[in-house]
Chains A and B, each alone.
Chain A
Amino acid sequence: MQLEIYQVIVPIISIVFIVSLLQRFWAGKVGWQESMVGGFFWVAVIFFAFFPDLISQKIAGLFGIKSNINAVIFLCLGLIFFFQYKLFLLVKQQQSALTALTRKLALENRQKEEDK
């Protein structure tokens, strides 16, 4: 099997991300669900790098898409939406935390002034 350059680079990058994910899991920074999803994603990327035609044809066949190129485009769009949603969720969480913190500080500062 003749390997293209991307078929070496993409799996290496994926393995780096998998190792990093495992480290984060062991350090308790991410839960097992997120680790499973992340791990599955990066393993899928490795397989996709090794067998791009076979996998894209299977996906095209599964969803009734005519060509495997279209299947790749739809898959990428799906992934972009997924990551966009994750980002949106993160921003909302950060905003809520910032508001809660701002409110707590404001009320505490007021209390200190009243106690003086």
Chain B
Amino acid sequence: MSGVHPVADWSTDFDVLDPGYVADPFTIWDDLRSTCPVAHTGRRGSTWLPTRYDDVVDLAHDIDHFSSTQISVIPVAGGSPPEGERILRYGVPPISADPPLHTWTRRLLLPWFSHRRVEGYQAMTAELCGRLLDGFSGRGRADAAGDYAQQIPVRVIAAILGVPGSLADTFTGWVRDVLEFADDPERRRRGSQALVEYFVDEVARRRSEPGDDLLSDLLGSEVDGVPIEDSVVLGIAALVLIAGVGTTWSVIGSSLWHLATHAEDRRRLVAEPDLMPFAVEELLRAYSPVTMARVVTEDVEFRGCPMKAGDKVLVNFPGANRDPAAFEEADSVVLDRAVNRHVAFGSGIHRCAGSNLARMELRVALEEWLARIPDFSLENGAQVTWAGGQVRGPRQLPVVFE
């Protein structure tokens, strides 16, 4: 990220990979909202950045002008897509699709993340968190991001997909290659290729030995009497892994960062566990990890901005959730916030298909941590590092406790 050219004017030349933006985008959004609510940049192609809640929601709902066929916040450098992405002829639906492909692929996926199913994953998640805490709670210090947050969603998702949890570190590595090193085309190419090749083998194996898992279910599914193509199955599998791993771990990490640096909130949450459901929504609002992109389908004027066909728009859900026009005390975490129409999981037809799972994982991860380690803080002189771009969250979070 050291290669980012310094930004002098955020309204006309923004850069989401700027280290200052990655560390603290909040003050930049606040400035833009009052001076230039839809910012623009020519870096990595013509791209727009809305910062107001109403604008972001309107963009997400206008699927005719803003297509999901290009969702990468950072386009692949160098033109041709990675080999792995070429095997995925249909992208990673439903997130990278417009109707009608979006509609039927989403219907295949949703039941796996329904309330009822997610309740069934809860005991496994709590047990997993307990095991991780067993590993470091006696040591007085831990990397709350690397030793804890990063370890949780990947194992739950592996169980749902029916792939071994023992490969968690490998999966995490691929997901990071794809999501966090988008400006390093070689690394991104390697990650996406390895991930797709892994699932090609897994699909072949399940054709002969189906199991009770999402991959097998997809392979056995028919749409209008026709089995779905392998490239669609591979795309959905890649999506579930990438979106199910990199996002939830980020918000678990950000929430632990908040609690490590805001002792009053931490003590209150320990003393008033009934606040947890509201606190989970509030932490999701304040530290929404995910920004998605859209591509403009035809020239359109949006809030006075002349958007051209082919331009990118960043659907800035994290920024929308900090808009003071939509939330009182938008830049404060209010644990018992009663009215909270946050859009951390998006808005409109692409509402995160895994939102029930993500909420459960965040709640259980915080409950289990606080039950075992109610009092913790950042290590003195700690180097907290953040990833940004498509997904924002801490990647190194050294904390100390009794």
Query: Real complex partners, A and B?
Result: no
**Which residues of chain A have a CB within 8 Å of any CB of chain B?**
none
